[in-house]
């Protein structure tokens, strides 16, 4: 009985909008086609049910081709006139439902309430400020690797996606970034890259949240997601790496470096910015060397053919710059170069 009452309430008392539209369309078509055939068939015996249904449809949708039309008074005033009025009303009702559904879907999307089906996208966790996120997107857009890649933002407190990010086609999911439900709606398991920003720059407590997010990402992902995490306190860097992230960027570590270098070498800040920014000038790149053991001189010559200046390598022992010509580079080392654009994959392979 409960099932019957539930069905009566859902279907009869409060039917959903699509069901109401279907019932109204069927009822109007039945009324129009039956009435048209009733009044017009005596004078036009060649008419069929298909003809009457076709006339009812084109009249209800206000198309009115004119291939069929009522010639009797009953067909005109008792069938055609009601069909015209109700058809216009039904058409307006359908359009209003469609517009409402589109607006509601867009609102849910901007407020981060939808689930996204994405693959190989970039997920940015936390929203510290609009300026920082825009700067990050600008830098990423300057590299061919991220051009055309979908970017999705995950944050717990942002009520609605800012218009500036919406114009950049950024997707948004609102929710606790440490919960599986939120990560599932952001399709983190299918993502290729993840960046975890510090929610409160300068506040070491932000590192606790980022550590929890990193653990959630690594436990959920069914494949390798390249994760870069921002931390405030450099003492947390070891914990973040143990949690499974690929790289940690500690902003407080570089503060003293930049200040001291700018004091000792005025203008060095502009040089560093040019080497680390994708927005113009020359950039630092790390390209994997796959050709087997070779002297650094040979590696530098291979890079020079592509317009890159080799300044060192990054191996398992860490970065080594300004190498001697005879020092050996082995397969798997990353060559540190300065160039105008990234070397294509396999160039040094």
The sign of the dihedral angle between the CA atoms of 256, 257, 263, 266 is negative
Query: Global pTM?
Result: 0.71
Q: What is the pLDDT of residue 119?
A: 92
Cβ contact 162:194 at 8 Å: no
Q: What is the DSSP letter of 132?
A: H
CA dist 287 → 74, 298, 319 (Å) = 83, 15, 13
Query: Which domains does the chain carry?
Result: 2-110 (1.10.287.70), 122-254 (3.40.50.720), 282-339 (3.30.70)
Residues 6+ apart with CB under 8 A from 277: 139, 142, 283
Q: What is the pLDDT of residue 127?
A: 95
CB 289 within 8 A of CB 299: yes
Classified as helix, coil or strand, 58 is helix
SS (H, E, C) 30-74: HHHHHHHHHHHCCCCCCCCHHHHHHHHHHHHCCCCCCCCCCCCHH
Per-residue confidence (pLDDT) for residue 77, from 0 to 100: 87
3-state percent breakdown (helix, strand, coil) of the chain, nearest 5: 50, 15, 35
Beta-carbon-side half-sphere exposure of residue 339 (alpha carbons within 13 Å): 20
For tokens 């053919």, name the residue: 305
Q: Report the pLDDT value the prediction gives residue 122, as an integer from 0 to 100.
A: 96
User: Would you give per-residue pLDDT tens digits along the chain (349 residues)?
Assistant: 555 555 555 555 677 777 888 888 888 899 999 998 999 888 888 888 999 999 988 888 878 778 888 888 888 888 888 888 888 888 888 888 888 878 888 888 888 899 999 999 999 999 999 999 999 999 898 888 888 899 999 999 999 999 999 999 999 999 999 999 999 999 999 999 999 999 988 788 899 999 999 999 988 756 679 999 999 888 888 888 888 889 999 877 777 777 888 888 888 888 888 888 877 778 888 988 888 888 899 889 889 998 999 999 998 888 888 888 899 888 888 999 998 888 887 778 6
Q: How far is CA 259 from CA 201, 267, 268, 283, 305, in A?
A: 18, 11, 10, 21, 36
């Amino acid at each position: 009985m409960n099932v019957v009452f539930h069905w009566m309430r859902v279907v009869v008392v409060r039917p959903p909008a699509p069901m109401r539209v279907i019932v109204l369309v069927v009822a109007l078509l039945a009324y129009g086609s039956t009435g048209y055939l009733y009044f017009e068939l005596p004078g036009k015996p060649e008419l069929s049910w298909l003809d009457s249904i076709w006339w009812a449809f084109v009249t209800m949708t206000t198309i009115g081709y004119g291939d069929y039309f009522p010639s009797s008074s009953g067909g005109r005033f008792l069938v055609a006139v009601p069909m015209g009025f109700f058809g216009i009303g039904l058409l307006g009702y359908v359009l209003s439902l469609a517009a409402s559904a589109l607006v509601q879907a867009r609102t849910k999307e901007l407020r981060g309430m939808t689930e996204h089906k994405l693959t190989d996208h970039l997920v940015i966790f936390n929203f510290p400020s609009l300026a920082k996120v825009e700067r990050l997107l600008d830098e990423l857009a300057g590299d061919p690797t991220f051009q055309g890649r979908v970017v999705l933002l995950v944050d717990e407190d942002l009520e609605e996606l800012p218009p500036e990010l919406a114009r950049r086609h950024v997707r948004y999911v609102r929710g606790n970034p440490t919960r599986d439900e939120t990560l599932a709606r952001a399709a983190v398991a299918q993502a290729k890259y993840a960046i975890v920003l510090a929610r409160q720059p300068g506040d070491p407590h932000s590192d606790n949240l980022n550590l929890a997010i990193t653990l959630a990402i690594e436990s959920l992902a069914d494949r390798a997601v390249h994760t870069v995490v921002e931390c405030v306190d450099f003492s947390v860097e070891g914990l973040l790496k143990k949690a499974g992230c690929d790289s940690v960027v500690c902003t407080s570590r570089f503060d003293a470096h930049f200040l001291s270098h700018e004091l000792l070498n005025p203008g060095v800040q502009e040089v560093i910015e040019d080497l680390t920014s994708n927005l113009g000038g020359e950039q630092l790149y790390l390209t994997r060397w796959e050709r087997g053991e070779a002297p650094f001189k040979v590696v530098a010559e291979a890079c020079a053919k592509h317009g890159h200046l080799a300044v060192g390598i990054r191996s398992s022992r860490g970065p080594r710059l300004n190498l001697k010509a005879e020092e050996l580079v082995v397969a798997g080392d990353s060559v540190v170069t300065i160039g105008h654009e990234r070397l294509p994959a396999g160039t040094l392979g």
